[in-house]
Amino acid sequence: KNEVEQSPQNLTAQEGEFITINCSYSVGISALHWLQQHPGGGIVSLFMLSSGKKKHGRLIATINIQEKHSSLHITASHPRDSAVYICAGSNYGGSQGNLIFGKGTKLSVKP
């Protein structure tokens, strides 16, 4: 069964802390998405990566295809980073748009 597992499910941090959210998947995935869902429900795509590392501002995403693992890092965290972070993988042969979604990591950054 294709699965995407995220950890931790919930994460509370103090402002300024370095944060890591992990994503592991059970089968080979050709690409992995990191999404951010704010309390209002809107979702923003942060990264889509198939190898290596990508950086945007204070956010860094890495992926190791061989180890079937990806991480999302947030440096110098801020209360506005509070959101649910979702990873989603697309596996070889999967139909378009049918990403396999993790259940999300709820991050709360306290001032």
Partner 1 sequence: SQTIHQWPATLVQPVGSPLSLECTVEGTSNPNLYWYRQAAGRGLQLLFYSVGIGQISSEVPQNLSASRPQDRQFILSSKKLLLSDSGFYLCAWSAGQATNEKLFFGSGTQLSVL
Binding footprint of partner 1 on the chain (CB under 8 A): 30-31, 33, 35, 40-45, 47-48, 50, 86, 88, 90, 94-99, 101-104
Structure token pair of residue 61:
């995403």
Whole-number minimum distance, CB 97 to partner 1, in Å?
A: 4
Our CB check for partner 1 shows the closer of 103 and 110 to be 103
Whole-number minimum distance, CB 10 to partner 1, in Å?
A: 13
Q: Say how many Å lie between the first and final Cα of the chain, rounded.
A: 41
Our CB check for partner 1 shows the closer of 81 and 89 to be 89
The rounded radius of gyration (Å) of the Cα atoms in the chain is 13
- Alpha carbon of 4 to those of 14, 25, 51, 52, 80: distances in Å? 27, 4, 17, 19, 26
